[in-house]
Amino acid sequence: MLEVSAAREIVLRHAKRLKADFTALMSSSLGQVIAADVASDVDSPPFDKSLMDGYAVRAADVSPTAELTVVEEIPAGKMPTKTVGPGEAVRLFTGAPIPPGADAVVMREKTDSPSADRVVIREVPTAGQFILRQATEMKVGETVIPAGTVLTPATFGLLASVGKTTVPAYPQPKVAVVATGDELVEPNRRPKPGQIRNSNGPMLTAQVALAGGLPRYIGIATDREDVLRSYIAEGLEIANVLILAGGVSAGDFDLVPKVLKDCGVTAHFHHVKMKPGKPLLFGTKGDKLVFGLPGNPVSSFVGFELFVKPALRVMGGHIDPPTATQKLTLSEPFAANNNRPTYHPAKRDGDGVRGLKWFGSPDLRAMLDADAFLVLPPGEVNYAAGAVVEVLPINRTAS
Ligand SMILES: Nc1nc2c(c(=O)[nH]1)N[C@H]1C(S)=C(S)[C@@H](COP(=O)(O)OP(=O)(O)OC[C@H]3O[C@@H](n4cnc5c(N)ncnc54)[C@H](O)[C@@H]3O)O[C@H]1N2
Ligand code: MOO
C-alpha cells in the first residue's frame, strides 16, 4: 500500500497550475495569486512632499526665533508657484509638494504666527526634516509586486497606487463536491430510521473555500450507478476538481470506483497507508482531478487536508503547498496503538500540542477544538509530556 508521501507525489504530479486570467480587485479575488510582475507607472511620492502640517523653510536661514515672510500657502493637491528665497517660508500641509528653495519643514506646533504673512520659527530645523523625497517608495518602471504575490488588502492598496484595477491572476480552482450514500439526508431534514445527516458536504465545501478553491456543491448521490454517473458527469463538467465523499471502500454499495472508471476516470491509487482514510481514491480525467474520499467524516477531512488541499494550492498558483508538518512538544502525555500511520486530532497548546480525546474516523465531534493532527507512527506509542512529536497544522478559519 502507498505511503502518504508517495501518494501525495502522485497527486502533485497531476495538479497543474491553471491558466492565468485578468481578475478585478474585489473581495472574491482576495487570496488569488498574481501571475505576472506588476511595475509602477508613477514615482511615489511623485514629488518631494511634506510629512507634516507646518512651514517649508531654508534650514540655513533659521536661527532660534527667526521670523520669516510667508510667501504662499500650499494645500495637498496643489503645486507651489513660488520659490522660497532667503528669509521666506511657505505654509503647507501634510502631503503637499515642497516648494523649490526649501529644504526642511517645521511643524506648525513649533511656530507662532504673528500675522497671516509672518511666521516665527521656534526650532532650528535640520536640512531635510519632514520631507519625503520623490520616489522613496517606488520609481516609475520598478517592479513593485512580483508574480506569486497573494491578493491581500495591502496588495489591493498597492495595485491601486500603481493604477491597476485588474491584474493577471491564477483563478481559484472550481471544486465540485458530491456526497454519496442512500443513508444520507440533507442537514435541514430530520433523519428517518437508518438515515443520518450529510455532514461531509458542508464540511468539505468549507474546506475547499478555506484552501482557496471555489466550492460547487452538487448534492447527495444515492447508491445507484445511474444516479452516481450523472452526478460525476456534472462534477467533471463544471469543475476542475471533483470530490466524492463515501462509497469508496469494499461494500456492495461502494460504487464510486466502478462508476468513476465507467465515466472515463483513470485511477492512480486507491488505498493509502494511513488512518483514518485508508480507502482513498485519486484519479484523473484529462486535466480534471478526482478524489474519492472515504465517507467517515474525519477520514474525509484528513484526506482533504493531505491530498486535495495541496493540489488546490498548486492549481491556484500558490508557490508552496502548505502542508508541511512541524515538530512540537507534547504538553500532556499521549498513548496510542494503531496499525497504520495515524493522524490523530490535536490542539496546539501554547508552544506545544496535546492529543484530543477521539474514538476514530466517525468522531467529527472531536474535531471541534482541533487545529492540528498528531502524525503518529504505526504500532504502540507511549509519549511522556515534553516528548517532541510530528504535527500537521490545519487552518480553522480564513485568519
Ligand atoms: N470490508 C471493508 N470495509 C471497510 C473498509 C475496508 O477496507 N474493507 N474500509 C473502512 C474504512 S477505513 C472506511 S474509512 C470506511 C469508508 O468507506 P466508504 O468511503 O465506502 O464510506 P461509506 O461506507 O459510504 O461511509 C462510511 C461511514 O461514513 C458515513 N458517511 C458517509 N458519507 C457521509 C456524509 N456525507 N456525512 C456523514 N457521514 C457520512 C456513512 O454513513 C458510514 O457510517 O469503510 C470502512 N469499511
Ligand atoms: O480509515 Mo477509515 O478512515 O478507518 O475510518
The CATH code of the domain that includes 190 is 3.40.980.10
Same domain, yes or no, for 335 and 303? no
Rg (CA), the chain: 31
Cα(299) to ligand 1 centroid in Å equals: 9
Under the banding of pLDDT at 50, 70 and 90, the label for residue 75 is confident
Test site for ligand 1: of 204, 249, 271, 280, most ligand atoms within 8 A of the Cβ? 249
- The answer to whether residue 398 is domain-embedded is no
Query: Which grid coordinates are listed for 217?
Result: 456543491
- The pLDDT value recorded for residue 63 is 85
Same domain, yes or no, for 34 and 154? yes
Ligand with the closest atom to the CA of 364: 1
| pLDDT over 90, % of the chain | 92
Same domain, yes or no, for 109 and 162? no
Last residue of a domain, one of 315, 340, 364: 315
Cα(205) to ligand 1 centroid in Å equals: 19
Last residue of a domain, one of 271, 296, 315: 315
Region 149-155 average pLDDT: 96
Residues with CB under 6 A from ligand 1: 179, 181, 183-184, 196, 198-201, 245-251, 254, 276, 278-279, 294-297, 299, 361
Enclosing domain of residue 358: 326-393
Under the banding of pLDDT at 50, 70 and 90, the label for residue 319 is confident
Ligand 2 atom nearest to 249, measured from its CA: 2
Same domain, yes or no, for 195 and 300? yes
Cα(380) to ligand 1 centroid in Å equals: 25
Cα(14) to ligand 1 centroid in Å equals: 26
Ligand 1 atom nearest to 181, measured from its CA: 24
Under the banding of pLDDT at 50, 70 and 90, the label for residue 64 is confident
- The pLDDT value recorded for residue 76 is 83
Kindly tell me if the per-residue pLDDT of 266 is higher than 70: yes
Same domain, yes or no, for 277 and 361? no
Same domain, yes or no, for 178 and 305? yes
Where on the phi/psi map is residue 54: left (φ > 0), alpha (ψ -120 to 50), or beta? left
Structural domains counted in the chain: 4
Stated pTM of the model? 0.91
Query: Which grid coordinates are listed for 168?
Result: 493577471
**In which residue are the cell numbers 516648494 written?**
99
Same domain, yes or no, for 13 and 26? no
CA distance linking residue 255 with residue 228, whole number of Å: 8
- The pLDDT value recorded for residue 253 is 72
Ligand 1 atom nearest to 183, measured from its CA: 41
226 half-sphere exposure, CB direction, 13 A CA radius: 0
Ligand 1 atom 10: residue of nearest CA: 249
Residues with CB under 6 A from ligand 2: 275-278, 294, 296, 299, 361
- The answer to whether residue 350 is domain-embedded is yes
Ligand 2 atom 4: residue of nearest CA: 276
Same domain, yes or no, for 181 and 287? yes
- The answer to whether residue 399 is domain-embedded is no
Ligand 1 atom nearest to 278, measured from its CA: 12
Are 157 and 216 a contacting pair, CB within 8 Å? no
- The answer to whether residue 160 is domain-embedded is yes
CA distance linking residue 200 with residue 298, whole number of Å: 9
Under the banding of pLDDT at 50, 70 and 90, the label for residue 7 is very high
Query: Which grid coordinates are listed for 159?
Result: 495595485
| pLDDT over 70, % of the chain | 99
Same domain, yes or no, for 282 and 357? no
CA distance linking residue 210 with residue 225, whole number of Å: 31
Cα(246) to ligand 1 centroid in Å equals: 6
Q: Specify the CATH number for the domain of residue 60.
A: 2.170.190.11
Ligand 1 atom nearest to 271, measured from its CA: 7
Kindly tell me if the per-residue pLDDT of 157 is higher than 80: yes
Same domain, yes or no, for 212 and 264? yes
- The pLDDT value recorded for residue 366 is 96
Burial class (CB in 10 A: 0-12, 13-18, 19+), 379: exposed
- The answer to whether residue 321 is domain-embedded is no
Ligand 1 atom 43: residue of nearest CA: 296
CA distance linking residue 14 with residue 218, whole number of Å: 24
Helix, coil or strand: residue 113: strand
Helix, coil or strand: residue 162: coil
Same domain, yes or no, for 34 and 155? yes
CA distance linking residue 227 with residue 158, whole number of Å: 49
Cα(197) to ligand 1 centroid in Å equals: 14
Q: Specify the CATH number for the domain of residue 157.
A: 3.90.105.10
Last residue of a domain, one of 154, 170, 186: 170
- The answer to whether residue 320 is domain-embedded is no
Ligand 2 atom nearest to 362, measured from its CA: 5
Kindly tell me if the per-residue pLDDT of 227 is higher than 80: yes
Ligand with the closest atom to the CA of 252: 1
Test site for ligand 2: of 2, 248, 274, 275, most ligand atoms within 8 A of the Cβ? 275
- The pLDDT value recorded for residue 399 is 60
Mean per-residue pLDDT over the chain, rounded = 95
Q: Specify the CATH number for the domain of residue 353.
A: 2.40.340.10
Cα(249) to ligand 1 centroid in Å equals: 7
SS (H, E, C) 52-69: CCEEEECHHHCCCCEEEE
Kindly tell me if the per-residue pLDDT of 336 is higher than 90: yes
Ligand 1 atom nearest to 277, measured from its CA: 14
201-238 burial by CB neighbour count: b if 16+ within 10 A, else e?
Answer: bbbbbebbebbbbbbbbbbbbbbeeebbbebbebbbee
Same domain, yes or no, for 119 and 149? no
